[in-house]
Structure 1
Amino acid sequence: MPTLKVDKVLVDDAAQALAREAAVAIAEPGTVGDHVKAEMTSDRLATHHFACTAKGYPGWVWSVLLARAPRQRHATICETHLLPTSEALLSPEWLPYAERLAPGDVNAGDVTPYVADDPSLEFGFEATGEEDVDQVAIFELGLGRTRVLSGEGRELAARRWYDGDHGPQAEVAKQAPAACGSCGFLVPMAGVLRQTFGVCASEWSPSDGSVVSLDHGCGAHSEADAPASSPERVEPPVMDDFAVDVST
């Protein structure tokens, strides 16, 4: 690409002063700093850059584009912008609401956006119109919903549960007297997940009402027992009713 010929009318002191006036006109007072550089953008087009001194915009510059018409001997203002340089402080890339949500963000009254192509879901059982067939399918397969958990969705959930606070690596599980798989309070799950998980139904357990892995555990195991301690007899102190405290 050939080097553009420098147009002296667009880069001289008068042009720089004109560009500064344009930047000052749109900027907050006192935020137009030193002249950084002037560069030819095209034939008879030049851009002047001024440092932005606003506290919230480090690395940004005021950019003013000047033009000169053919045979014209003075510059005119085309555009004025605040632009980032490679060292500029920028805001994070914008993400849609559905992608910004994280587990635990949904509170009372919140509604998550519908995701049509969620890989964790797949289409469920569709009614055939035959009542007996549909009832059996709904009861046996637990379907009857528009979408159900896909294989990928089950794998993600299983990994999340197993690696979480109710899996075998939790501190409470490492100190437990026995595993959940042998506990009478374990309610087995349906389907393939029952091979690894159940639901805790012990009101004394910190996992009550939560999905637990069969090799998780806690001190509220149904078959565990804390060693009984014998009560220690403590003799009451003997009080001397005839003692007199003398104070001076």
Structure 2
Amino acid sequence: MSVPETRARRPRKPTLDAAAAAAVDLARSAAEEDAEPGTVGEHLGATAEGDRLVSHAFDCLLPGYRGWRWTVTLSRASRARNVTVNEVCLLPGEDALQPPEWLPWVERIAPGDVGPHDTLPRKADDPLLEQGYEATGEEEADALALFELGLGRERVLSPLGRDAAATRWYEGDRGPRTEIAEHAKGQCSTCGFFLPVAGALRQVFGVCASEWSPEDGRVVSADHGCGAHSETDVEVEPEERSAPLVDDLAADGLELVGLADLPDDAPGEAPDGTVAGTGS
């Protein structure tokens, strides 16, 4: 016995009630009772919400509410002639100016917003973290894991967390595609001041330990670089010395003049020790 196919019934589209649709003045009066004076604008149309249930929309003239509408829903009982007000509210239109979606504080805060006196709330389900080392109950094995391997943390980075950090660092200002790296003569991976990080990121990242580098104490990619590379050098060219302004090593161009060459009225020493030519 074959079962006949049953077709799903489509929901019937409500028809616009003529009496409720014509009650524009009633809807406007209801909106003006709730709205501030002068903020109910022109009538934008009527929409059937259900059987004998119609919503009238009016332009909102409130400052800062561009695209919003005063919406008044009217209803009519079955076989009744009177139309009554069901609800008045202010709703946004398709092009309405609306605030951004509300987010909790823990989701709004961005990297760099944490100050010296701030403490972030704990995320119990952070996808960037996963469960860390779990104690086995064996004292020696647990001590080895805690001390030698540096574990003992409740949670550690998950693969997603490592990938997110690696991408952020590599595409940041200490990756290979920065101005200082493009002008460097050597990569960090060949520099003596490059300290590779431990773990899965060891082959890609390290910490700069050169006090002459602008990256000192920061995580850099292995293919980053700067001018403070330990193995690069510059050609030393001898400097041309300019001529001194005053030559202290050469003798002055003065001639020694004897007493015989002095004029008669020039002062000189007489045989008796007096100075001649001075009138004394």
Same fold (TM over 0.5): yes
Distance 1:180 1:44, change over 3 A: closer
1:220 aligns with 2:231: no
- Mapped pair 1:98 → 2:101: no
What residue is the counterpart of 1:45 in the other structure?
53
Q: Greater CA radius of gyration, 1 or 2?
A: 2
Instruction: State the partner residue of 1:191.
Output: 199
Distance 1:166 1:193 in 2: 15
The residue identity in structure 2 corresponding to 1:233 is: S
Q: Decide whether aligned partners of structure 1 residues 5 and 225 sit closer, same or farther in structure 2, where only a CA change above 3 A counts.
A: closer
Does the CA-based 8 Å contact 2:73-2:85 persist in structure 1?
yes
Q: Cα offset for 1:54?
A: 2.4
Give the Å deviation of 1:72.
5.0
Paired-residue identity, %: 55
Amino acid at match of 1:110: D
- Correspondences of 1:61-100 after superposition (within 5 Å): 61-69=69-77, 73-100=81-108
- Counterpart of 2:269? none
Alignment partners' CA distance in 2, 1:142 and 1:231:
58
- For 2:26, what is the secondary structure of its paired residue? helix
Q: Secondary structure at the match of 1:132?
A: helix
The TM-score, its normalising length taken from structure 1, stands at: 0.81
Which residue of 2 is the match for residue 175 of structure 1? 183
Higher relative contact order (CA 8 A, sep 6+): 1
What is the alpha-carbon root mean square deviation over aligned residues? 2.6
User: 1:150, 1:68 → 2: CA distance?
Assistant: 60
Which whole-Å CA distance do the structure 2 matches of 1:137 and 1:19 have between them?
Answer: 74
* Local SS of the residue matching 1:86: coil
| CA deviation vs aligned residue, 1:29-78 (integer Å, no higher than 9, x gap) | 32110112234433443322111122422222111122334565433322
In the aligned structure 1, how far is the partner of 2:155 from the partner of 2:13? 60
Identify the residue that residue 243 of structure 1 maps to in structure 2.
none
Aligned to 1:233: 242
Equivalent residue, structure 2, for 1:241? none
Residue 77 of structure 1 aligns to a residue whose secondary structure is: strand
- CA–CA distance in structure 2, aligned partners of residues 107 and 114 of structure 1: 16
The answer to whether the 8 Å contact 2:16/2:52 transfers is no
Does the alignment pair 1:157 with 2:168? no
CA distance in 1, matches of 2:209, 2:134: 33
**Can you list the C-alpha shifts for 1:152-191, whole angstroms capped at 9, x where unaligned?**
3223222222222112222111111211122222222112
Q: How does 1:12-27 map to 2 (within 5 A)?
A: 12=22, 15-27=23-35
The aligned counterpart of 2:39 is 31
Shift in CA distance, 39/154, structure 1 to aligned 2, threshold 3 Å: closer
SS of 1:23's equivalent in the other structure is helix
Q: Give the TM-score taking structure 2 as reference length.
A: 0.73
The 3-state SS of whatever aligns with 2:176 is coil
Q: Secondary structure at the match of 1:113?
A: coil
Give unmatched runs, 5+ long, in structure 1: 238-248
Contact kept, 8 Å, 2:181 with 2:225, in 1: the verdict is yes
Number of residue pairs matched by the alignment: 235
Structure 2 residue identity aligned to 1:6: D
Bigger CA drift: 213-222 or 72-81?
A: 72-81
